[in-house]
Amino acid sequence: MEVVAEKDRGLVAENIRRRVAGEVKSIAYTFTGLRKDGTTVEIGAHGSLATYHGRPAIISAAQDITERKRAEDEVQRHLAELQQAMMATVHVASTMGEMRDPYTSGHERRVGEMSAAIGAELGLSGQQVEGLRVAGYLHDIGKIMVPSEILSKPGKISPAEFALIKEHPQQGYEILKEVNFPWPVALVALQHHERINGTGYPKGLKGDEIVLEARILAVADTVEAMASHRPYRPGLGIEKALAEIERHRSEHYDPQAVDACLRLFREKGYQLPA
C-alpha cells in the first residue's frame, strides 16, 4: 500500500479482497500511485486470481499511464468544448425562430427540457436524453419559412394560412438534414406532428413508423402548447393539457410517452419549465 496514494488505498484494498474471496477472477482499474520522491503517477492495473504451485496467487501487472491519462483528459476537454459550441449554436438557431414569433417565446426550450425529462423517465440513455433536448430546441426551426404575420395572427387563420404552417416540419427537415448530429434531430423535426393513428402530417405516418424521439416530443409539444398563451387564445392550463394527451393516448400519442409525462406531473411534482 505504500506505493498507492492515500485516497485510492480503499479502492485497491477492496479490489484485492474481491479477488481473494473469489468474487471476481480478474479485474482492471486505475489508481494514483506514489513514487519514492512523493510525486504521483497514474497507474493502470490488471490482476487475475491464479494458482501457483498449488497455492492461490494473484498475477498482476501495473503500468504507468500518466501520459495516456493526460491525453485522454485533453480529448475530453476538447469534446466538452465542442459540446458547448454545438449547444450555443442550437440556442442561437432556436432564438432566431423565436424572434420571428415572440408570442411563443421559450416554447422550443420548454419542449426540449420536457422531452428530455420524459425520456429520462422512460429510462433512455443519457445520450438519447441529450438528443431529445437538442431536438426540442430545434423542432420548430422550419417556422422561419412561415410569414411572421401568420405566426402571430391573433384571430382564426384561413385554410391557406394553415397549409403554410403545416409545411414547417418539412422545412425544418430540409434545414437540419445536412447537420451531422449524433441524434435523429432532422427526423424529429419532420415527424413531430405525426400521430400514432396516421392522422398527423406531413406524411401521415403511423405507430412505429414514427421515430421514438418524435413520439416523445409530440407529447411534450402538445402539453406545452396547450398550457401556454397563444395569440389566438389564453393558456388553457396544465391540467387541460394533461387531460388532452390522456384522452388521446394510443390514438394520437405514444402510450408510454403519455404515461411517463403524466407520472412526472401528477406523481413527481414536475413543473412546466419557466
Domain coordinates in residue numbering, the chain = 6-64, 75-266
The CATH number given to 75-266 is: 1.10.3210.10
Residue 176 near residue 185 (C-beta atoms within 8 A)? yes
**Burial tier of 217 (Cβ tally within 10 Å: 0-12, 13-18, 19+):** buried
Largest Cα–Cα distance in the chain?
A: 89
Q: Single out the residue of 135, 94, 97 nearest to residue 217, CA to CA.
A: 135
Helix or strand or coil: residue 20?
helix
Name the grid cell of 175.
434545414
The fold of 6-64 is Beta-Lactamase (3.30.450)
From first to last of the 274 residues of the chain, give the pLDDT tens digit.
889 999 999 999 999 888 888 888 889 999 999 999 989 999 999 988 888 888 888 888 989 998 888 888 888 887 777 777 776 777 766 666 666 665 556 888 899 999 999 999 999 999 999 999 999 999 998 888 888 777 777 778 888 988 988 999 999 999 899 888 889 999 999 999 999 999 999 999 999 999 999 999 999 999 998 998 766 666 788 999 999 999 999 999 999 999 999 999 999 999 988 7
Q: Which amino acid is it at 47?
A: G
Q: In what order do the strands lie in the sheet with 40-52?
A: 26-34, 40-52, 55-64
